[in-house]
Structure 1
Amino acid sequence: MTVDPWRITGQQQIDSYVERHVQRAVLLVNELAVERAYGRQVVPPATGPDRQAAVQEALATAGLPASESLTPADADRLAAVATQLRPAFRTGSQPVIEELNRLLVRHAAVPNLHGRPDGPPVLAFHRAEAGLVDAWTADAGTALAMVIGVGQGERLRSCEAANCERAFFDTTRNASRRFCGLSCQNRAKASTYRQRRAAGTAAGEGGPPPGR
């Protein structure tokens, strides 16, 4: 007898759940740990209140729920977390994997069902009593580990445009995305065009004179 592979009915919801936590990791890295973006140098916010404001604004822009409990002190700790998460968007090398494992241990990542009085229990990757920084880090770190662990680590990318190192999660079907957004894609295309045009001009100047 042949047994068909088991399929999870709610697979789309599970994928969306993991993606939401990956996007939070992307947001933290881009707001608190990136020094080059969209072709120019940027200075990440350096104080708790500025970091807090940057994260809240980015959450709103991304359509993610704001956090009423995020404090400046939390934001300072999240800046350190963002620096630790950033290498995951560059390479899946063993040192990156080991650091991610250490991060999960430090922030007590553990699958946990959180009860709700108004609905079914909710899956999280942190204990119910965890503070905001541990909760966010455990959830984001576990989501990144899940992406890497199922062989999709190449989808955790950094922008390939010049002078941009913003992180992103590539959700295209064939994992072909190279840039953090349209502006960097257009900059890269324009740069490639200028380089080809300059190369063509130089080749023409070095060639034989036109015949009579």
Structure 2
Amino acid sequence: MDLAVLLVNELAVTRARGRTTGVPEDRRAALDAAFAERGWTSSRALTGSDADRLAGVAAELHPAFTAGPDATAALNQALVRHGAVPNLHGDPPVLAFHGPGADLVDAWAADTATALAMVIGVGQGVRLRSCEAAACELVFFDVTRNTSRRFCGLSCQNRAKASAYRARRRA
């Protein structure tokens, strides 16, 4: 889930925290920086071509977070296109949803699409959210007990509450 959120937020979102962000020029550098910020390392090196293909994957995954009408169809297509098949590989064995010989993009796409599909399939699709603050499209996986999270972070929450307060004061 964390990888799905990261890919969508880094490669498919054009407005974040009240500002227009645009699509990064150097996608590989943007992903490398996001991975380093989280302390993640990949077993395979990410190339510029991989990052460009991952932008397409992020666009496929984005509707799942916004509960769009095409979310299920888009996820099903992504699962098929990237060969999502449960299997064990490695030593010790690890459950993955991509073939052992899959390239980096297909592996990440299959695993992230499967994670989203599993969340939706067990009736927890409401936990896949998009920030409710104005001018913010960032997505997140709501892990609160009562699924009450509405904003991607504290800065968006503060902006929204201050805006609502100013609107009440004007009225």
- After TM superposition, the score normalised by the length of structure 1 is 0.78
Which residue is equivalent to 2:112?
140
**Superposition map of 1:111-150 within 5 A:** 111-116=86-91, 120-150=92-122
Which residue is equivalent to 1:79?
55
**Superposition map of 1:106-185 within 5 A:** 106-116=81-91, 120-185=92-157
Question: Which whole-Å deviations, capped at 9, do the CAs of 1:147-190 have from their partners, x for residues lacking one?
Answer: 00000001110000010000101000011000000110111111
Contact 2:63 2:74 in 1 (8 A): no
Please, what is the CA RMSD of the aligned residues? 1.2
Question: Which whole-Å deviations, capped at 9, do the CAs of 1:31-57 have from their partners, x for residues lacking one?
Answer: 1111110001111113xxx10111111
The alignment covers a number of residue pairs equal to 171
3-state DSSP class of the match of 1:55?
helix
- After TM superposition, the score normalised by the length of structure 2 is 0.96
Runs (4+) of structure 1 exceeding 4 A deviation are: none
Segments of structure 2 that go 5 or more residues without pairing to the other structure are none
* Identity across matched positions, percent: 67
**Superposition map of 1:1-212 within 5 A:** 22-46=1-25, 50-66=26-42, 68-91=44-67, 93=69, 95-116=70-91, 120-199=92-171
3-state DSSP class of the match of 1:113?
strand
Structure of greater Rg:
1
Contact 2:131 2:151 in 1 (8 A): yes
3-state DSSP class of the match of 1:178?
coil
Displacement of 1:63 after TM fit?
3.3
Higher RCO (CA < 8 A, seq sep 6+): 2
Contact 1:162 1:188 in 2 (8 A): yes
Segments of structure 1 that go 5 or more residues without pairing to the other structure are 1-21, 200-212
